Structure 1
Amino acid sequence: MPLTRRSAAGALAIAIASPLLMRSALAQQFQPTKSVRIIVPYTPGGVPDLMARQIAKELGAMWKQSVIVENRAGASGAIGIEMLSKSPGDGHSFLIADDGALISAPLLKAKLSYDPVTDIVPLGSVGASPYVIVGPPDSPSIQQLFTRAKSNPGSVDYATNGIGGPHHQIWERWQEQLGLKLNQIAYSGTLPALQDVAAGRVALMACTPSSALALLQGGRIKPLAAVSKTRFPFMPNVPATAELGYPTMEAVAWYCFMAPGTMPDSLKEKVGADLRAVLTSKDYITSVEERHNVSLVLTGKEASERMARERAQAKALFKRIGIEPA
Structure 2
Amino acid sequence: MSRRRLLTTVIGSAAFYAIPRIATAKDYPSRAIKFLVPVSPGAGTDSVARVMADYLSRKMKSTWVVENQGGASGQIATQATARSPADGYNLMLGYVSTHGTLPAYRKVPYDPINDFTHIAMIGGAPNVLVTNMSGPETFEEFLEQTKKNPGKYTYASAGVGSITHLVFEGLKLGTGINVLHVPYRGLGPGFNNMVAGQVQFAMPGLAGALPYVNSGRLRALAVSGSQRAPLLPEVRTLKEIGISDFETVQWLGIMGPKRIPGEITQALWSAVDQVLGEKEVKDRLANEGIATMPMTQRSFSGYVSADLAHWTKIVNSQGLREA
SS in 1 for 2:291: coil
Q: Deviations over 1:256-306 (max 9, x none)?
A: 110111311221122111111112222211111122221111222112112
Q: Residues of 2 paired with 1:212 and 1:243: CA distance?
A: 20
TM-score scaled by length of structure 2: 0.85
Classify 1:298/1:229 alpha carbon distance in 2 versus 1 (closer, same or farther; 3 Å).
Answer: closer
1:321 aligns with 2:297: no
Q: Which deviates the most, 74-83 or 306-315?
A: 306-315
Contact 1:107-1:325 within 8 A present in 2 as well? no
Q: Tell me which residue corresponds to 1:17.
A: none
Gaps of 5+ in 1: 1-25
What residue is the counterpart of 2:68 in the other structure? 71
Please give the per-residue CA displacement for 1:102-156, whole angstroms capped at 9, x wherever unaligned: 12213444351x3332222210111101122111122222322210222222222
Is 1:43–2:32 an aligned residue pair?
no
Q: Distance in 1 between matches of 2:300 and 2:265?
A: 13
Pairing 1:120–2:112 present: no
Q: How far apart are the structure 1 equivalents of 2:111 and 2:134?
A: 46
How many residues align? The count is 300
Structure 2: gaps spanning 5 or more residues: 1-22
Task: Give SS of 1:298's match.
Answer: coil
- Asked if the contact 1:145/1:156 (under 8 Å) is kept, the reply is no
Q: Which amino acid aligns with 1:125?
A: M
Mapping 1:171-320, distance limit 5 Å? 171-228=168-225, 230-246=227-243, 249-320=246-317
Correspondence list, 1:23-42, <5 A? 29-42=26-39
Distance 1:140 1:104 in 2: 28
Alpha-carbon shift at residue 184 of structure 1 (Å): 1.7
Alpha-carbon offset, residue 42 of structure 1: 0.2
| Amino acid in the other structure paired with 2:53 | A
Cα distance change on mapping 1:79 and 1:285 into 2, 3 Å = same
2:125 touches 2:225 (CA, 8 Å); kept in 1? no
> Which secondary structure state, in structure 2, belongs to the residue aligned with residue 207 of structure 1?
coil
CA RMSD of aligned residues (A): 2.2
Q: Determine the C-alpha separation between the residues in 1 that align with 2:231 and 2:161.
A: 30
The equivalent position to 1:140 in structure 2, one of 136, 141, 160, is: 136
State the percentage of identical aligned residues: 25
Counterpart in 2 of 1:166?
163
Normalised TM-score (structure 1): 0.84
Q: 1:147 to 1:82 in 2, by over 3 A?
A: same
Residues 130 and 294 of structure 1 are in contact (CA less than 8 Å); yes or no, is this contact kept in structure 2? Answer: no
2:207 counterpart letter in structure 1 = S
